[in-house]
A and B are shown apart, each in its own frame.
Chain A
């Protein structure tokens, strides 16, 4: 039987799983997914799994945190959570985000204007627990009681009280991974409060104080990047092997033979790709290499630890890991003596290094940093490449705006200028630009592949993007038309790839996704064969 809609108080008081997956009724999708049973479902975790890991929010597990078995374990976790809460409002421990967090805690007027802007809340059929202000209000109540009024947690909590406190904290932990930090809600808020920021600040308590974060973000993510060289697990030697393999691949596909510059001292530009591109979408770094070679750009890649991987997962959950990776990137650029760092097709890497790290990098680490979009826009519009947009005429292209580059950085036009120069059949999604919807993979979701979390992503967090894609191509939705979603960001591509696979969108509707640079090379007249390989991969 369906439970009543949970309220803020239920978050602390109601036992067991707060929301059942079966009680979620996401908004219906347009054709061809308008018939019952035509879209994927969220599979419940096996009973055994639910017993072992924390799933008391909604039966989905993003963090996969093992349920503590004893009351002492719970007591310790509860204690750590509250010490983390205090540090979140300490001007030394959290100088990085104290002011915006404080403003959000103090000045939200609980008007719910942000709710209509949140794709997760709306698409889930208005699940209360996904409302932007829901988790913020829980943090606000804790802040008012324990930080503002200075109450401390009593030492002599009973077992029942400890249980209740831990249940609330465990739900809060999972809840902080039900928001993509796309900040559409903040954009809509008349006060300027930021519930997306609250999500990230909550994740910080769990990571920075309690050592809890999804494996994909921490151990396999930022830790691996700093220690092995890349969150993909690719060490420097494998990176160099990959590059040499791709050099051969470029020669095979285009007849162009040249070496990609690596560790070139004094080059003008250090170009850093998201290393996932080398493994999952190698045509992307290949296209970059072709364009830069043809345009005669003086650049280099780096094979130093972390510097061949632009990602910085700390941006989603941990300020210290964030600072470590940002400083590493800058230090390697400094040692190479480059004039600037250019970031490849990766949205969060853009925001990390160009915007947020702007207040981390000082002195000679403050090396100028630029988006690949401006560099490529200048190249494309300068006629340095032989381009014929009609070479892309068999494809209808739409553009996905990665939140990080657009709403959070204001890079809106360069990608459109490029697209208009390289393809004739371009159409915008609604809404687009700074009002876009997240791909559903934001804030690390795209790489979190455990348990039933990807199902939740396909059904809930990617749903608004799915709807936009179906709508923009609705008049040519049949498989006889080739359609391309240009997603100039590795994480967005990952989320869109998984979503397309789950909905079998390529097979049923002939919609492919890919980057921007591939479209540029596809339009180059001196490359004989089409560069875009129209196959599912």
Chain B
């Protein structure tokens, strides 16, 4: 196994493990109180204007109309247009948009490089050695993804870095980590761009490397220095990435699906009810004068007891 392969395996496994652990950590957090924010795109027939099932009288007696397609549509539009930034922060969008589209293209590039290998295992002759329609299509796709990916990420990354450096409202809130993130991403896309322009126009070096990595075969001996440099920089990025807010794709899943759009009503006997009851058995812990820190949440909230008061 070459050094290049070894570092890439380590970085990839490390990246996956940390990302999974982070996801699990959030998924295992206790149930929280509802904190909906409208519009919620799965509200069937109401999402367009931000309506909810609370607009129906005796809503609990009626079937809940949920449109997963509506939710999916919203996600696709947001992911591929960055509509939120477009509407509310247009100057940033001009760089954030190419940057993100560039990243998507790079992910697509990696996938398109690996598909032939996977299909080869299944017995389909689509490798570079046996050109067929699918193989050609994948090669052209890889060309397009490489061209768009390296160029857009580089332009977007440089633009974002310039904005962070020169726009006062961005600069004064930026931490060193924000710059390191961008510089690393610019370094990777810059290396990718250079390798693509100089030695790997058809991404065949990357494809061979991908092949060797997923087939556990020896690394190709002909990997040029520019490509090796790109891979090592990517390895560094993979090791660093999970500890930064660049993993906001994980956070965004939870902020949208588990907070803003989480409008599942708590029905008697439901799992949500069980989770609430468990959480309410915890001690409150807070110690302001109006709170007994040792009481449970149920006790602290009065447990349903109503004082007589003045009648």
- The reply on B173 being an interface residue by CB < 8 A is yes
Binary contact readout A181-200 vs B (1 if CB under 8 angstroms, 0 otherwise): 00100111111111001000
Determine the distance from Cα of A8 to Cα of B170 in the docked complex, in whole angstroms: 12
Check if A223 sits within 8 Å of B173, measured CB to CB: no
- Of all chain B residues, which has the CB nearest A368? B60
A434 touching B302, Cβ below 8 Å: no
* B159 proximal to A (CB < 8 A): no
Nearest chain-B residue to A211 (Cβ)? Answer: B288
Q: Which 9 A-B pairs have the closest CB atoms?
A: A410-B52, A192-B255, A107-B251, A434-B50, A93-B285, A323-B301, A305-B309, A95-B30, A92-B282
Q: Are B291 and A434 in contact (CB under 8 A)?
A: no
Whether A110 pairs with B178 at a CB distance below 8 angstroms is: yes
Task: Say yes or no: A192 contacts B51, CB within 8 Å.
Answer: no
- Per DSSP, are chain A's interface residues mostly helix, strand or loop, or mixed? helix
A254 within 8 A of partner (CB): no
- Decide if A247 is an interface residue (CB 8 Å cutoff): no
| Min distance, Cβ B41 to any Cβ of chain A, angstroms | 11
Q: Known interface pairs A229-B310, A366-B273, A370-B58. Does A116 touch B89 (Cβ–Cβ under 8 Å)? A: yes
B283 touches A92 (CB 8 A): yes
**Chain A CB within 10 Å, residue with most, of B30, B51, B169, B173:** B173
- Besides the known contacts A96-B33, A374-B57, A374-B59, 18 further A-B residue pairs in the complex with CB atoms under 8 A apart: A8-B173, A96-B32, A103-B251, A107-B245, A190-B252, A191-B251, A197-B35, A210-B288, A211-B289, A223-B290, A324-B301, A324-B302, A331-B305, A359-B32, A408-B37, A409-B54, A410-B53, A410-B55
Cα distance A411–B52 when bound, in Å?
Answer: 6
In the bound complex, CA of A174 to CA of B87 (Å) = 31
**List of A residues within 8 angstroms of B37 by Cβ:** 183, 186-187, 194, 407-408
Q: Are B34 and A359 in contact (CB under 8 A)?
A: yes
B-contacting 9-mer, from A350-358, A388-396, A439-447, A480-488 = A350-358
Residues of A within 8 A of B279 (CB): 95-96
Which of B59-73 touch A at CB < 8 Å? 59-60
Stretch at the interface among A14-22, A83-91, A158-166, A459-467: A83-91
Contact indicator A93/B266 (Cβ below 8 Å):
no
- Is A111 in contact with B31, judged by CB distance below 8 angstroms? no
Interface residue ranges of A220-271 to B (CB < 8 Å):
223, 228-229, 235-237
B306 proximal to A (CB < 8 A): yes
| In-complex Cβ contact of A91 among B30, B78, B287 (8 A) | B30
Number of A-B contacts (CB under 8 A): 281
Known A84-B286, A186-B37; contact A191-B255, beta-carbon cutoff 8 A: yes
When the two chains form their complex, are residues A332 and B288 in contact, meaning their CB atoms are under 8 A apart?
A: no
Measured CB to CB, the residues of A under 8 A from B are 7-8, 83-84, 87, 90-93, 95-100, 102-104, 106-117, 131, 133, 137, 183, 186-194, 197, 207-211, 218, 223, 228-229, 235-237, 303-305, 319-321, 323-324, 326-328, 330-332, 334-335, 340, 354-356, 358-363, 365-366, 368, 370-371, 373-375, 377-378, 406-414, 433-434
Chain A residues within an 8 Å CB radius of B54: 354, 370-371, 374, 409-411
B297 CB-CB contact with A under 8 Å: yes
Inter-subunit contact B52/A192 (CB<8 Å): no
How many B residues touch A, CB cutoff 8 Å?
87
How many angstroms between the C-alpha atoms of A410 and B50 in the bound complex? 6
Knowing A84-B286, A99-B30, A100-B259 touch, does A305 contact B307 (C-beta < 8 A)?
yes
Asked if B120 is at the interface (CB within 8 A of a chain A CB), the reply is: no
Most buried by B among A104, A330, A359, A413: A359
**Contact flags B169-190 to A (C-beta < 8 A → 1, else 0):** 1101111001000000000000
Residue with the greatest number of chain A CB neighbours at <10 A, chosen from B38, B87, B265, B268? B38
Q: How far is the CA of A197 from the CA of B174 in the complex (A)?
A: 21
Closest Cβ neighbor of B47 among chain A residues: A410
Docked pose: A49 CA to B213 CA in angstroms? 71
Interface string of B252-295 (1 = CB under 8 A from A): 10111011100101101000110011011011111111110000
Checking A8, A91, A358 against B29 with a beta-carbon cut-off of 8 angstroms, the contacting residue is A91
Q: Is B123 an interface residue (CB 8 A)?
A: no
User: With an 8 A cutoff between CB atoms, is B96 at the interface?
Assistant: yes
Contacts of B251 in A (CB 8 A): 103, 106-107, 191-192
Interchain CA distance A97-B297 in the complex, whole Å: 14
Specify which chain B residues have a CB less than 8 angstroms from the CB of A363 in the assembled complex.
268, 273
Interface presence of B49 (CB below 8 A): yes
Q: Bound complex: CA of A87 vs CA of B284, how far in Å?
A: 10
Known contacts A95-B282, A413-B51: A8-B172 contact under CB 8 Å: yes
Closest to A303 in B: B311
Q: How far is the CA of A63 from the CA of B287 in the complex (A)?
A: 20
B122 vs chain A, min Cβ distance (A): 38
CB nearest neighbor in B for A205: B286
Q: Is the CB–CB distance between A115 and B169 below 8 Å? A: yes
List the A side residues contacting B56 at CB < 8 Å. 374
Q: Which residues of B contact A (CB under 8 A)?
A: 26, 29-40, 43, 46, 49-60, 78, 82, 84-85, 87-89, 92, 96, 169-170, 172-175, 178, 245, 247-248, 250-252, 254-256, 258-260, 263, 265-266, 268, 272-273, 276-277, 279-280, 282-291, 297, 300-307, 309-311
> Which residues does chain A contribute within 8 Å of B310, judged by CB atoms?
229, 235-237, 305
In the complex, the answer to whether B35 meets A208 with C-beta atoms within 8 Å is: no
B302 and A328 within 8 A (CB)? yes
Which residues of chain B come closer than 8 Å to A305, judged between CB atoms?
306-307, 309-310
The distance in angstroms between the C-alpha atoms of A237 and B259, with both chains bound, is 42
List B contacts of A406 (CB < 8 A): 38, 50
CB nearest neighbor in A for B285: A93
CA distance A303 to B60 in the complex (A): 27
The contact of A103 among B49, B92, B255, B266, by CB within 8 Å, is: B255
Beyond A93-B284, A409-B36, A433-B49, is A188–B58 a contact (Cβ under 8 Å)?
no
Complex CA gap A106/B96 in Å reads 20
Q: In the complex the two chains form, what is the Cα distance from A411 to B250 in whole Å?
A: 30
A456 to chain B, nearest CB (A): 23
Select one of B59, B273, B286 contacting A208, CB under 8 A: B286
Interface pair A407/B38, CB less than 8 Å apart? yes
How far apart sit A360 and B266, CA to CA, in the bound complex (Å)?
9
Contact A320 B284 (CB under 8 A): yes
B36–A408 CB distance below 8 A = yes
- Asked if residues B291 and A366 are in contact (CB atoms below 8 Å), the reply is no
Partner of A434, one of B49, B250, B306: B49
Chain B: which residue is nearest A6 at the CB level? Answer: B172
B60, chain A: closest CB distance, angstroms? 5
* 30 pairs, A vs B, C-beta closer than 8 Å: A83-B287, A90-B285, A95-B297, A100-B32, A106-B251, A107-B250, A114-B88, A137-B173, A183-B37, A188-B84, A190-B82, A194-B35, A235-B310, A330-B304, A332-B306, A358-B34, A359-B32, A359-B34, A359-B266, A359-B272, A363-B268, A377-B57, A406-B38, A407-B37, A410-B38, A410-B39, A410-B43, A410-B263, A413-B51, A414-B55
Residue of B31, B35, B291 touching A320 (CB-CB under 8 A): B291
Partner of B38 from the list A112, A117, A359, A409 (CB cut-off 8 Å) is A409
Contact call A358/B266, Cβ cutoff below 8 A: yes
Q: Closest approach, in angstroms, between the C-beta of B189 and any C-beta of chain A?
A: 18
Instruction: Name the distance in Å between B205's Cβ and chain A's nearest Cβ.
Output: 33
Given contacts A100-B259, A360-B301, A409-B38, contact A192 B252 (CB under 8 A): yes
Give every chain A residue within 8 A of B265 (Cβ-Cβ).
358
